[in-house]
Amino acid sequence: MTKKLNEAYIIHGGVPLHGEIKVNTAKNSALVLILAALLTEEKVVLKDIPKLSDILIMCELLEHFGAEVHWYGHDLHIEAKDIHTCTGPYHLVSKMRASFVALGPLLGRCKEAGMAMPGGCAFGPRPVDRHIKAFKDIGAIIEESDGDFRLKLNGSLKGTARFVAPTVGGTQNILLASVLGEHDVTIENAAKEPEITDLVQMLKAMGAQIEGEGTDTLKITGVSRLRGLTYRPIPDRIEAGTFILAAAATRGKVSLHQVEISHLSSVIAKLSEAGVKFSKLGPASLLVDATGDLQNVSLYTSEYPGIPTDVQAPFTAFLATLEGDCTIEERVYPGHRFTHVAELHKMQADIELEESTLSIRGGTLQGAKVHSADIRAGGAMVIAGLAAQGTTVVTGLEFIDRGYEVLDERLRGLGADIHRQEIIEALTGTYGD
């Protein structure tokens, strides 16, 4: 059998997290704000952008379209004076589902766009049917062949895009397609996540005319041009939730800075019910104190302002450390997003999955070798490793790197015993220097 070297996190668990940490700007917002830069010939500067692999892939995609992209520290400068092609190449699109949202700005600026079926996390199907139907609703002509989509405009956009169920990506796509041109477009049953509001605020700062910010009905009046700007995305509520749950799972005490507390209301409410104490230290600072007695709680995921599906896996890891029984129901992606369960079983977690509901009987986790199959499962594995007795080896870091910037370094700043190193797999299953 051939030796295989792979990177992994080595975590020696049982150390409560203590200290202070800054939350990055939101990856899920930054990805779409980068695409919004395609709508103007002027320079767009996005401040404090984490250098995650997904962000770097999106930058490659913009360069493929013809934009000039430059990093200055963590500030991203984008200038899309000319669009050379309006088709996304499979080798980039297949890596990340957010790439499908490039259809919107390309259609808006070039009046045509092409894209393959997007890739991304493998927790289940990511149907784009709702996007395509919405584009048809507002007058786009759609051609599909072997999983490739081609959109064209014959005239201008008009009408109402109605979503049967709210979709963040679909709402973003229609927004980006509609802000340029002489037309009126309405989005009904629009998603209301903070990332949507962030996009609306940036587009309005660029000169777009959009009404209904923060509601489920958005009305767009097209304009002839958008201007460049300097803009800082909102804080990452999913990263903040992950750090909060890591502090809770290790029974630690951590201060989070550069956080939008209002975006975390559902997570804070549920953890308060479990006994975690929260104190507002300032307008963008939050103290998390999990050093007292904690109790198990049940929860379900839902669209904003409910508990985000992206913290379901980290919540599972935390609840697996608490004595007692509870349940988690996945309502956003029923039947999916459970790759972390089999890995937590390796750590002696008592979890049963029936359809879309996890039944958890909490206790003490034991260190083991586990794998991350998607971004948030990776966050869950790290949380479990931090809380477990003994040593945990977490592989699949390519997924973790898509959603968390230098996670090991930042956790070490909170006292965690975690480091990244190459391991030898297949032959020995052990880790080396």
Which amino acids are annotated catalytic?
121
Which residues share a beta bridge with 43? 79
Distances (CA, A) of 137 to 161, 174, 185, 398: 5, 10, 10, 38
Region of 19 (left: φ > 0; alpha: ψ -120 to 50; beta: rest) is left
Q: Is the Cβ–Cβ distance between 426 and 77 less than 8 Å?
A: no
Distances (CA, A) of 35 to 16, 44, 121, 132: 40, 11, 20, 18
Question: Contact, 365 vs 381, CB < 8 A?
Answer: no
Please count the other Cβ atoms lying within 10 Å of the Cβ belonging to residue 147.
9
- The SS3 assignment for 201 reads helix
CA distances to 8, 90, 424, 428, 430 from 1, rounded to whole Å, are: 20, 33, 12, 10, 15
Please give the order of strands across the beta sheet that includes 43-46. Answer: 68-72, 75-79, 43-46, 229-231
Cα 423 to Cα 409: distance, rounded to the nearest angstrom = 18
Non-local (6+) Cβ contacts of 282 within 8 A are none
Tell me the H-state helices in 111-236: 129-137, 168-178, 194-205
Order across the sheet with 18-22: list the strands: 18-22, 253-257, 285-289, 277-282
Q: Where are the beta strands (DSSP E) in 148-263?
A: 148-153, 159-162, 184-188, 209-211, 217-221, 229-231, 253-257
CB-CB contact of 216 with 146 (8 Å)? no
For residue 145, give every residue at least 6 positions away whose Cβ sits within 8 Å of its Cβ, in sequence order, or none: none
Q: Reduce the DSSP state of residue 61 to 3 states and report it.
A: helix
Query: Can you count the helices (H) and strands (E) in the chain?
Result: 14, 23
Give residues with Cβ within 8 angstroms of 16, minimum separation 6. Answer: 250, 251, 252, 253, 291, 415
